[in-house]
Structures are given as structure tokens and as C-alpha cells.
Structure 1
Amino acid sequence: MSITWYIHRLRAMGPAEIAHRFVEKGKKLAARGRMEGWSRYRTSGPLPVLPGLADNLASAPDRVKQDIVAAGRDVLSGRYSALGADWPLRDPSKPFPPTIWRLDPVTGGLWPGSEAYCFDISYRHERTLGDIKYVWEYNRLQFLQPLAADAALTGNPDAIEAIEAAIDSWYEVNPPFRGICWNSGIELGLRAISLLIVTSLCGSRLSDATVEKIRTILHAHQVWMARYPSRFSSANNHLVAEVAGEFLISLAMPELPLSGRLQAKGRRILTEEANKQILADGVGAEQSPTYGAFTAEFLLLCCFAARAAGQPLAKGIKERLALFSTFIAWLSDAKGRTPGICDDDEGRVITLSRHEPAYAASVSAAIAGYLGTPAKGPRPPEIELRDALLQAPAGGPAPPTGLRTFAEGGYTAVRETRNGRDLHIVVDHAPLGYLSIAAHGHADALSVIVTVDGKPLFVDPGTYLYHSGGEWRDWFRSTRAHNTLTLAGVDQSTMSGAFNWSHKAVASLDGIEDGENWRLVASHDGYRNRFGCLHRRTVASTLHGFSIHDALTGNPDQTTEIVFQLSPACEVEINGQEIRIRSEKRWLATLSFSHPGQIESAAGGPAGTGGWYSPRFGIKLPAPRIVWKGALPPEGLLTNVHLVPE
């Protein structure tokens, strides 16, 4: 483990957290030499079931059932893809060999297995084996969810056989607390939920031996999550995942020794975290729309299961879920796609185990289904398992129009017709991220994201990779990768690790005017300590589009870059100080600047030299990146964006 990582991590902790970490470390060391085995966690009892899920699946519309069955059959073909990678095609005669649970599909390397104590495996700075996200993703067992749904709907014996083979293999290869599958509580929570969905949908079709193994796995998961909870600076979506896993196991298996205490704990913490991690205006506190949806989906499933069991959770959780749904409606396009703001590792809770391009809008639709209200915004055309299990509505309204500010969360959205084109703008005046390390935040204060007629124009660059990303992880989080101003090539906020920031820029909304001639003013202090100035940005409507005015108080004698990262579908023509942009052979906009500067446009190249866009985890595509570079004049720089009429 890197000493530098430890130093930066300690700096982000207060005295109480440091004390907690020392106690936790002692507990982990004490457990290191114990070979607990599965026998300690075997208990007799009924089939664990989350009530209501099977009934909702049975009553789903036929078109939804057909898509679910098709997804299950796709899993049976031996194909598995996730996070932009394809796993080796499985041999139908031996679909789950022992090594599959340790395999990195990108490098072909094998992570340590049962010979290693889980907390002895250093994964944060591992480079030769690949990104641990891939191995964890497979071990979430989410590919069992569509198999279970297929078996429940059709009685498909092949699906049952595959589920039992997977459980047998996982149980054999991953004994308690040994290997890479046991060292992160969020992974245990997600795996437990997958197993509970399996038993809830098709458990009566499974053999007694398989049910016993699932019960044993769930019991061990419950104990391990309760032993090492995420707290303090780690208490983000990981905490919600762990508590959701504990709560749902306890609800389905009330006879376990810890279930009574963990149910009570879950009710309290889920309510608290709903109010912390979904802000009062509906924005997810981690700033990422997809991480907000991830947290919301955990909360939603817990609410559904508790209500179906006749023990509903606190009303306040439903209220926060409804607010989140409204926020996503304002960010969505007509197909439910939202900008890739901040991190997105494609985490899902209820899934058909395939790529889902409009996850946040799908969760939003499921919230409407649970609440029994109309959808707040567009729902995606793609079908998901959560649509059936949580009874999401089949359709939704067009995206809302006008101007809407989410002041606490830090976003303003504008959707209007301007110069005959449908214009959608999202302005980021948000905090960097959540808690002291802001783990999933990006240095993107005052960034502007724009679509024209549903076609991306100015895009957020996305995420690409986590642990194995190296310089690319830094680039996709950097200020220079986003549609904002960079001073002297320095990030607004200071990175101190792949999931840590030592200095955080503070952004504020300074003014807002609604109406046809709308206007907003926002600023951030990320350059105050280093250069003695604030960056203030004004975004305003114009007759033929909109304008962006950038100014620096104090006018530091430093080179300024103003970036516009375009979609990979865009092409650029530069004519002096004017730039023309088209997409799919149709002109979208022209950019012009009030002051001459060095104009550059490049796509691809080494990190930091050109434009890149990550449409999903593990994938990056070259994309044009426009840069105005020079000394910012005292009056600031005005960028006019003229929408080209059809």
C-alpha cells in the first residue's frame, strides 16, 4: 500500500475517524488467523423471500416478460459483458470453473483466492492484474437475476441448472472471508440482494442443498457487513448498500441471531441516509446522477420490501425519492439519458445484467411505480427487471421546459426552443462531492453541458476507469477535461488520490433571472489561495442561442484555458476566431469569442493533449476538444454560442 495514500487519507480524517480506523484495523487483524468456514453459518429455516417481487413479476405486461426471458436466455448462452469488457465465452458443460471468480477479463490475470485473507489483498494500487472493479462486478452474481426471472416465468430447467451450478461453484471457491470477494462491504450487500432476488422469484424450484447454501452465504454476509460498517468519510453509497443488504437479509431471515437488531438499525440508518444522500432539492449529495440513482434504488427496494411485509419504512424516504425523481427529469433528454456528471461505475441493484444507458431515468420511473404516481419525466425505451418487480409505468411525459435551479445540490437546467432549435443546458455550480474525501467528485465547477435537438454538443467527459486508471483517472476528473476555465493549467480542486481531494473549490450561485431573457451568475474560489482570484461565470440567453462570460477577479498574470469538450459525433471547422460545429452532417452551432486568443481543437492523443469522452466505464473515445487559450482581459471573455437554424 502506498505511504502517500495513507498520508492523504489520514489528512481527510478527524480524530474520531482515526480512532475508529485503529479499532477496525485491530478487529481485522484479530480475525486474520481464524479459518471460520461455512459450517459456522449454517442455520435451518424457511426459504428466504422478499415479499411482493414474485407477484409483481407475474403481473408484468407481456412485452416486459418477453424482454426479461430473452435476457435470461442470453445469459445461458455463456456470454457475459460488463464495464465495457467481455468475459471469455463459457463452456456450457462447465459454465463456472473455479477461476472465473478471480478472473480479470481485460488482463487475463487471476486475483488471489481462498489462500489469502481478504483484507491482506492490496487492490487500490495494483496495476498488473487490472481494475478490481471487473472481478467484483462478476461476483455480484447479478447475472443470476434474469435467470431467476426466466425460471419463474417459464419454468426453464436450464436456468435453474445454471443458477445451482453458479451457487455451488461460488460456495466452493469463496469460503468465508478468504479471497477478493470479501474485502468490500458494498460488494457483499449487492451479492446478498442478488441471492434474495433469486430465492424470491424461483427459490421453490431450487434443490434443498442449493437453498441451504444460499441461506449459509446470506448469514455469513450479514455477520461480516455488520462487523465492518462504513463510517465517517466512507459513509457514502457504500453505507447504504451495506445497510440495505443487512436489512433485506434480516427481513427475509428474521430467525437469524442478528436480524432483530439489524432490522432496527436499518430502519434508522436508511432514513438518516435518505436525508443526507438525497438533498432537500432532490440532487444526490455525491453529485453524480447515476450514483444518486444507485443510492435511490437501494432505498427504493428496501421501502418496497418493508411495505410488502407490512412494516413500512419512514415516510420521509418516499419524499426524498420523489424529489430525486424530479431532479432526474430536468437532467434527462427525451430518451431518459442524463449527462455523465462526476463518477459512474455502472452500479445497479435490480438488473437484467446488461448495459443500461439510461439508468437514472429507469430508477426514476420505478420510484413513480412504487409511489403510485405518474412519472416525472421520460422513461427509457429499454426494459429492465426493476420495471417488472417495482411496477414502473410504461411511459412518461416529455422533459419539463423552462428554467429550474436546484440551489442546494448546485445545478441549473434550462430547456427551451431558441432560434428554432431545442436547447438543453445544465450549469454546474455544485459542491465538489460528498463528505471529506468527495470520493466521486470531479473538478468541474461552473461546467456547462449542452444538447441541441437531442444531440450532445458540450459533454461531460465521463469516468473511464477507477483503480487501474492511473493518469487517465486523473485526466477524466481534472478541470481541463471539463467545459470550464482552467488557470495556469491547475485544477480548481487538488487531487490526493484516486478517490480523495485535499483542497476543494467552493462554488456558489450568485444570481439568477428567469424568463425569456434568462441569466445566471455563479463563481468558485478554487484559485483564490493559489492565484488570489475568483472565477465568475455568467451564462445567459441571447437572441440566437446563449452566451458564456468568464471573468477572474484580480486578473492574475497567468495563462487561461477555456474548454469545450464535444461529443465524438461532432466535427469542427475553425475560421480565425470563429468555430463551426456539426453533428451527423448537420450544423448545430458556431462559437465566437470577444477577444482573440490561441484556438485549438484536437481529438485523442495522450492524456492532457486532446479530447476524450467516456460513454461508459472502461471505454474512452477520441472526441474534439476546443480550447481558447490566452491572457484573460480585465473585462473577461464572452463566448457567443449561435445555434444554426435548420
Structure 2
Amino acid sequence: MSLGWYLKRLRAMSPAELAHRVGEKLGKVVARNRLEGWARYPGAEVKPLPGLCQRVLAAATAGDREQVRQAAEGVLAGRFEALGVDWPPRQPDDLFPPEFWRLDPVTGGLWPGAERYCFDIPYRHERALGDVKYVWEANRLQFLQPLAAHALLANDGRSLAAIEAAIASWHAANPPFRGLGWNSGIELALRAISLLVVVTLVGDRLSAACRTQVGSILHASAVWLRRYPSRFSSANNHRVAELAGEFLIGLAMPGLPFARTMATRARRELGDETARQILADGVPAEQSPTYGAFTAEFVLLCASVARSGGEPFPALVGERLDAFARFIGWIQLDDGTVPAIGDDDDGRVLTLGEVEPAYPGSVANAISVYAGQGAPTAVAPDFRGLLLGRSVTRARAPQGQRLFASGGYSVVNRQVAGRRIGLVFDHAPLGYLSIAAHGHADALSITLAVDGQPVLVDPGTYLYHSGGAWRDWFRGTAAHNTLAVAGADQSIIAGAFNWSHKARARLVHEERGEPWSLTASHDGYRRRFGVLHQRSLVGTDTGFSIIDRLLGAAEGRDAEIGFQLAPGLVATRAGREVAVRRGDETVLTLAFEPGDVRIERGGEGGRGGRISPRFGVLLQADRIVWSGRVDGVGRTVAVRLAAVADRTPVRRRLEAAGG
């Protein structure tokens, strides 16, 4: 690991965190010399989690059964896909060879296995073997979930045999605290939840040997989770996952000597973390709707199990979950997707392994069942809803203007020029805790949907450890629909999950009348360029105007204002106007003041004209950029929505208007 990484990471730590890290490091060094074989972790009885199996049997429709069957058949055929990559196919008679748990599907390299102590594997900066996330994904054992569901619903013996083979193979290849499967708490927790789903659905059909192996894995996992908790600057969604793992293992394995105290403490801390990581207005503290859904799904699973067991979580947990669902209801599009604000690594808790573009909407739907309210969105049947419940009663789509003051977003959902717009204005903090690990430098950016479909979008995430220049681009300011001074980011990147300087944004003014308006500012350029960026959005009869000002420098500064389009949209420039088309229809035009206007598409080496609709996937998409001088008077971009019936060819219409 590089010395530079350590120095940047140390700067983000408080004295208390430094003391904690030193103690943790010493503990890991001591543990390296222990004999940590399976004999230390006998497989106590594992009981089903209450409520889940009964709900699956009662609620499964013919469509659910077919969806589960198809997912299980894919696993049985030796197929595995995650993070935008297909693993090499395996033979049905040898689905889980030992090297499967160490294989990187991109490079073909094999990571260290049982011969290496987990904390001696330098995964953060390893590149020759590939990105550690791919190997972790297989080790989550989430492909066991569709197998267990199919075995339950169809009494499928092949699925049961595959479950036993996978567990036996993993158990043999990954003794406690050896290999890559043991060096991150969130990975242990997700694997534990997958095993608990298996036990809950079909545990009584597994062999005694398999049940013992499951018990041993969960026992060792509980010891690890208690021994190495994510604390201080690392206590984000990882901490929620770890606590969920501890709580659920404690409930399922009451025979463990520490089970009761572990479950009681985890339950209490889960409530505390829910209050910290889901703000009072429902915005996730990590500033990512998808990571917020990930956090909410962990909490919802635990809360649902606790309620089914007769010991419901405190009311505050339900209130924060409900607030999150309502936030998602305000920002989602017609297909249930939401703007790709902040990081998203496709993490799921309950899953069949399929691609879920509307993941936050699915979690929000399940929350509505827990809360006993109409869902903020209607979603397609999914495994999560089958286990936790799903609502078919959709709440009325919110319209108007809503400020999420705690989280830092303003949302405008209204009719303009005969069209529906959904506008999200970001004046939020960079991210959560001192390193803001999953935040992007996107202060004062906007996203825009027209008639329920995306037009101006956040470009997404793409990759983490192996992202290189693309990781910096997708986190950086220029990739977002905001202003960048001299090509610099508002906040300064200090590593793939760290920042050395964080822009502070705030809402200055809002007006809900006619015309509506919003004004916000951030100080990210004050120290380096002596200016404060202020952005105003003002409603007009045909759309809205964007006014960007750089306050504090009379001569102004060179800047760029960018707008990233969704895939499938085409930008056409005529003079200083750019028309945006979806197929044959013009959706809107952007009218700029004097300066250079260009359209980028398919940039390379960490440049624009690219979006990442899901982790590991990179697509070309038009990006519109204005560049010029910006001062305190400001520059205005007029966003004009095209009339619904206007299908006149773009260039001819612009020429007729004198463009």
C-alpha cells in the first residue's frame, strides 16, 4: 500500500480514531499467529429467521415462481454475472471449484487463498490481479438465495444439491480469517445474510454436515464482526451491514455464548445508526440514493424480522425508513429509477442476482408495507418484495416544490409548457463523515426529467479500485451539471474514497410562488480562486433559467458549465443554441450567452461524453459544454421546453427562428 494513501488517510482521522486504529492493528497482528481453523468455531444450531419463509409461501405468484426458477436455472447452468461482467462459465457437474472463490473474471488472475492471512492481502492498490470487488461479489454467496427459493417453491432437488456443494466448497477453501473472503466486514455480513436466507427457506432439507458448516461459518463471522467493527470515519453503510449481520446471527444462533448480548447491542446500535445515516427528511447521509437504499434494506430486513419475532424496533426506525421512501418518491422517474447522485456499486441485500435499475424504488415499496402505507412507486415483482412484502397500492405522485433541508436537496415537480418536469437541485454536503467516501464533487448540480424520462443526468460511478482516471472523472465537478472553475474540482480528491478539502454548500433563498426560484452557493473555489459560486434557478413560462455567478473577483474567472445528457438523446448545435432530441422529437433547447459551445461524445482517459448506468458499464452520451468568463454579474442558460406536438426537424426550426 502506498505511503501517500496512508498519509492522506491519517489526515482525515481524529486522535481518538488514531488510537482506535493502532489498537485494531495490534489486534490483527496478534491474531495472525493464532490457529484459526474451523475447530475453534463449532457449528451450533441455526434457526430460521421468523416471518420470511411464511411470507414467501403465502405471497408467491406464478410470475414470482417463474422469476425465481429462471434465476436458479442460470446458477445451475454455471453462469454468474455481476458488476457488468460475466464470469467464465462453469460445468454443471463442477459448479464450485476451489479457484472460483479467488478468480478475477476480468484479468483471469487468482487472488491469494487459504495460505494468506486476510489482513496481509494488499487489495486496495492491487491491479495485476484485478479489482477486489469482483472476487468479493462471488464470495457474498448471494446466488444461493434464488437456489433456496426455487428449492422451497418447486421442491427442486438440484437446487438443494447445488447449495450443499457451494457451502462445502466455500467452507473448504476459506478457513477462518484466511483469504480474501475475510478482510471486510460488509462482505462477511452479506455472506451471513445469504446463508441465513438459505437456512430460513430450506434449512430443514439440508444435510446435517451442511448445517454444521453453515453454523461454523456464521460462528466465525460473528466473532470477526465483533472483533473488527468499522468505526469513526469508516462507520458508514459498512457499519450498518456489520450490525445487521450481528443482529441476525444472534437471533438465529441463540446457542452461541455471546448471542444474546451481541443481538441486544446490535439492535440498539442499528437504531442509532439509522438515525445518523437516514436524516430526518429521508435523505441518506452518504448523499447517494442507491447507497441509502442499501442501508435502508439492511435496516428493513432486521426490523421486519424483529417485528415477526414479537420484538419490534423503536418507532424512530420506522419513521426514518418511511422518510427515506418518501424522499425516493419525490425524485424518482416514471420507471422507478432515480438520479445517480453519488456512488453506486450495485450492492443489494436480498436479490436474485438480476440487474435492478429501480432498486431504490423497490426498497421504498417494501418499506411502505412495513409502514402500512401506499407505496411511493409501483415496481415489478422482485425477490425483495417476496420476502419483505410489496404494495400494489401506489401513493399519489407528489407535485409541487419540496425542500429537503436536512439532506440538502430542492425538488421541483410541476407542469411547464404542457410537459411534466422533475428537477433536482443539489445544495447538499459532499458526503458522510470525515472522508465522505461515497460523495461526488457535485454541489449546485441539477438533474432534469421531462415527462418522466431522464434528460440531464448525473453520469454515475463506473468503477472503484480499478477505475483510475475514470474514478476521478465520475467523482469530479466537470462530470456533473454544474460549473467548474479552471477545470478544477470544487472538493479536492485525496484517494478513491477520500477528500482533502470539502466544498460547503447552502441554500440561500427559495421562492414557491410564480415565478418559482431557488438560489444556493458553495465555497469550494474560495481558497484557490477567491470566488464563491452562486447558482439561481428561476421558473419561466417555457421552462427555467440557470444563472451562475462567481462572487468575489471583479475580473471573473475562466469556467465551464456542463450538461450531461441521458443515453439515446442527441444534441444539435446551431449558434449558441443547442436542441436536445429524443428520436424525432425535440425535448428542449439550451440557449447560452456568448462563449464557446461544444458537444462532447465518447471521451477517453477520464473525459466527458460518457455515463455509467451501472457499476462497470461505460456508455457514450452527448455532453454539452459552455466555456468562457464568469463574474459576479453571471451567465445565464435558458432551458426551454419544446411543445409536445413540435416535431419540426431541429435545424430547420432553429434556422426559421434565426438561430
Fold-level match, TM-score > 0.5?
Answer: yes
Q: Which residue pairs with 1:9 in the alignment?
A: 9
Matched residues in 1 for 2:207 and 2:606: separation? Answer: 55
Secondary structure in structure 2 of the residue aligned to 1:486: strand
C-alpha RMSD over aligned residues: 1.2
Q: Which residue pairs with 1:74 in the alignment?
A: 74
Q: Is the 8 A contact 2:477 2:483 kept in 1?
A: yes
> Residue 434 of structure 2 aligns to which amino acid in structure 1?
S
Matched residues in 2 for 1:633 and 1:533: separation? Answer: 9
What does 1:101-140 correspond to in 2, within 5 Å? 101-140=101-140
Q: Is the 8 A contact 1:337 1:380 kept in 2?
A: no
Secondary structure in structure 2 of the residue aligned to 1:299: helix
- 1:578 and 2:610 aligned: no
> Residue 4 of structure 2 aligns to which amino acid in structure 1?
T
What does 1:313-352 correspond to in 2, within 5 Å? 313-352=313-352
The CA deviation string for residues 168-224 of structure 1, in whole angstroms up to 9 with x for no partner, is 100010000000000000000000000000000011111111011001100000000
> Residue 424 of structure 2 aligns to which amino acid in structure 1?
V
> Residue 71 of structure 1 aligns to which amino acid in structure 2?
A
> Residue 595 of structure 2 aligns to which amino acid in structure 1?
G
Among 614, 617, 620, the residue aligned to 2:618: 620
Matched residues in 2 for 1:488 and 1:122: separation? Answer: 36
Q: Which residue pairs with 1:49 in the alignment?
A: 48
Matched residues in 1 for 2:393 and 2:479: separation? Answer: 35
Q: Which residue pairs with 2:98 in the alignment?
A: 98
> Residue 10 of structure 1 aligns to which amino acid in structure 2?
L
Q: Is the 8 A contact 2:469 2:606 kept in 1?
A: no
Matched residues in 2 for 1:44 and 1:134: separation? Answer: 31
Secondary structure in structure 2 of the residue aligned to 1:433: coil
What does 1:404-443 correspond to in 2, within 5 Å? 404-443=402-441
Q: CA deviation at 1:610?
A: 3.0
Give me the identity figure in percent: 56
What does 1:54-203 correspond to in 2, within 5 Å? 54-62=53-61, 63-203=63-203
Q: CA deviation at 1:308?
A: 1.2
459-468 or 54-63, which moves further after superposition? 54-63
Number of residues of Structure 1 aligned to a counterpart in Structure 2: 642
The CA deviation string for residues 607-636 of structure 1, in whole angstroms up to 9 with x for no partner, is 354311000000111111111101114410
Among 541, 547, 550, the residue aligned to 1:543: 541
Q: Is the 8 A contact 1:333 1:399 kept in 2?
A: no
- 1:488 and 2:486 aligned: yes
Q: CA deviation at 1:452?
A: 1.1
Q: CA deviation at 1:65?
A: 3.1
The CA deviation string for residues 410-429 of structure 1, in whole angstroms up to 9 with x for no partner, is 11111112111121111111
Q: Is the 8 A contact 2:556 2:631 kept in 1?
A: no
Secondary structure in structure 2 of the residue aligned to 1:65: helix
Matched residues in 2 for 1:290 and 1:515: separation? Answer: 32
Secondary structure in structure 2 of the residue aligned to 1:626: strand
Secondary structure in structure 2 of the residue aligned to 1:426: strand
Q: CA deviation at 1:508?
A: 0.2
What does 1:224-373 correspond to in 2, within 5 Å? 224-373=224-373
Matched residues in 2 for 1:254 and 1:435: separation? Answer: 34
Q: Which residue pairs with 1:40 in the alignment?
A: 40
Matched residues in 1 for 2:145 and 2:316: separation? Answer: 29
Q: Flag the 1:338–1:330 CA change in 2: closer, same or farther, 3 A.
A: same
Matched residues in 1 for 2:394 and 2:90: separation? Answer: 39
Matched residues in 1 for 2:366 and 2:428: separation? Answer: 26
> Residue 584 of structure 2 aligns to which amino acid in structure 1?
K
The CA deviation string for residues 4-30 of structure 1, in whole angstroms up to 9 with x for no partner, is 000000000000000000000000000
Q: Is the 8 A contact 1:333 1:378 kept in 2?
A: no
Q: CA deviation at 1:64?
A: 2.5
Q: Is the 8 A contact 2:164 2:206 kept in 1?
A: yes
Q: CA deviation at 1:573?
A: 1.0
Q: Which residue pairs with 1:590 in the alignment?
A: 589
Secondary structure in structure 1 of the residue aligned to 2:135: helix
Secondary structure in structure 2 of the residue aligned to 1:619: coil
Q: Is the 8 A contact 1:332 1:399 kept in 2?
A: no
Q: Is the 8 A contact 1:507 1:524 kept in 2?
A: yes
Matched residues in 2 for 1:291 and 1:461: separation? Answer: 16
Matched residues in 2 for 1:418 and 1:613: separation? Answer: 27
TM-score normalised by length of structure 1: 0.98
- 1:518 and 2:516 aligned: yes
Matched residues in 1 for 2:205 and 2:607: separation? Answer: 56
Q: Is the 8 A contact 2:152 2:201 kept in 1?
A: yes
Q: Is the 8 A contact 1:566 1:625 kept in 2?
A: yes
Q: CA deviation at 1:49?
A: 1.1
Secondary structure in structure 1 of the residue aligned to 2:630: coil
Matched residues in 2 for 1:609 and 1:121: separation? Answer: 32
Matched residues in 1 for 2:259 and 2:116: separation? Answer: 29
Secondary structure in structure 1 of the residue aligned to 2:104: coil
**Runs (5+) with no aligned partner, structure 2:** 645-659
> Residue 216 of structure 2 aligns to which amino acid in structure 1?
T
- 1:452 and 2:418 aligned: no
Secondary structure in structure 2 of the residue aligned to 1:497: coil
> Residue 597 of structure 1 aligns to which amino acid in structure 2?
G
Among 376, 384, 387, the residue aligned to 2:385: 387
244-253 or 413-422, which moves further after superposition? 413-422
Matched residues in 2 for 1:460 and 1:272: separation? Answer: 31
Matched residues in 2 for 1:8 and 1:535: separation? Answer: 27
**Runs (5+) with no aligned partner, structure 1:** none
> Residue 402 of structure 1 aligns to which amino acid in structure 2?
G
Q: CA deviation at 1:289?
A: 0.1
> Residue 7 of structure 2 aligns to which amino acid in structure 1?
I
Q: Which residue pairs with 1:631 in the alignment?
A: 629
100-109 or 427-436, which moves further after superposition? 100-109
Q: Is the 8 A contact 1:334 1:399 kept in 2?
A: no
Q: Flag the 1:277–1:577 CA change in 2: closer, same or farther, 3 A.
A: same
Q: CA deviation at 1:557?
A: 4.2
TM-score normalised by length of structure 2: 0.96
